[in-house]
Amino acid sequence: NAGVTQTPKFQVLKTGQSMTLQCAQDMNHEYMSWYRQDPGMGLRLIHYSVGAGITDQGEVPNGYNVSRSTTEDFPLRLLSAAPSQTSVYFCASSYSSGRSYEQYFGPGTRLTVT
Amino acid sequence: AQKITQTQPGMFVQEKEAVTLDCTYDTSDQSYGLFWYKQPSSGEMIFLIYQGSYDEQNATEGRYSLNFQKARKSANLVISASQLGDSAMYFCAMRDYTGNQFYFGTGTSLTVIP
């Protein structure tokens, strides 16, 4: 199993550009989520999905869109990048039920918006 | 509102000694879960331990144990017999009663001194 994969690892965007961060998992997990990690602020939940076709907002959803057309993939779209979106982005997945809801994280994408 | 507080930005511990990392949480939910994750300098997020709000016994996973004091709303991580490889950031996190929303603390940087 590859686990949770994210592409790209690094990205530099100019203000106003759009891009999609890719996330895929091969563990047949129902739950997938996106976080951003900023210095001194821990991880904050952006959006999550509990299954194909079902998404919802987390703590900091503004400026980001998501969709879930398959169990495996959960892309995060930035429609018009802003410097405030400079951050490290993590995708995670887990079973949506069970003892612990333990999340498996991808390696992260470091995004810089200039 | 949900909140996780980690009041120790940085901690030092001698190799082979035990160390406690503090975490307090704020929730009005009766059902919730508490997690600890480790983030080494390489950046990946590694799951360490989980405690459910209805679990009567403190969780243990190898050298990690979670000191769960429900009335005080604290979920401290205890690492026994510290090793040099334990040097990392440690994040406390909580999931809400739906299992869909997760909240992370700001982290504690642990340095193990040889």
pLDDT surpassing 90 at residue B99: no
Question: What is the predicted pLDDT for the residue at A100?
Answer: 66
**Residue A72: CB partners within 8 Å, gap ≥ 6?**
A24, A25, A26
Q: What is the pLDDT of residues B42-84, one digit of tens each?
A: 999 999 999 999 998 999 999 999 999 999 999 999 999 999 9
B54 touches chain A (CB under 8 A): no
Q: What is the pLDDT of residues B5-16, one digit of tens each?
A: 999 999 999 999
pLDDT surpassing 70 at residue B114: yes
Contact A99 B50 (CB under 8 A): yes
- Residue B104: name the closest of B11, B1, B38, B5 by CA: B5
Which percentage of chain B shows pLDDT scores above 90? 91
pLDDT surpassing 90 at residue B25: yes
Range B16-27 average pLDDT: 97
- Residue B8: name the closest of B109, B111, B114 by CA: B109
Task: With H, G, I as helix, E, B as strand and everything else as coil, classify residue A56.
Answer: strand
Sign of the C-alpha dihedral computed for residues B72, B88, A3 and B63 taken in this order: negative
Residue A45 has its nearest CB partner, among B4, B35, B102, at B102
Question: What is the predicted pLDDT for the residue at A41?
Answer: 82
Residue type, A30: E
Contact A88 B43 (CB under 8 A): yes
Range B81-101 average pLDDT: 94
Question: What is the predicted pLDDT for the residue at A101?
Answer: 75
In this structure, chain B runs to a length of 114
Question: What is the predicted pLDDT for the residue at A97?
Answer: 60
A3 touches chain B (CB under 8 A): no
Chain A residues touching residue B105 (CB < 8 angstroms): 42
- Residue B22: name the closest of B84, B102, B105 by CA: B105
Question: What is the predicted pLDDT for the residue at B87?
Answer: 98
Residue type, A86: T
Contact B105 A42 (CB under 8 A): yes
Q: Provide the 10 A C-beta neighbour count for residue B3.
A: 12
Mean pLDDT by 10 residues, chain A (114 residues): 93 97 95 94 93 94 96 96 97 77 92 97
Contact A96 B4 (CB under 8 A): no
Residue B106 has its nearest CB partner, among A42, A59, A104, at A42
Backbone angles phi, psi at B14, to 5 degrees: -75, 145
Question: What is the predicted pLDDT for the residue at A2?
Answer: 81
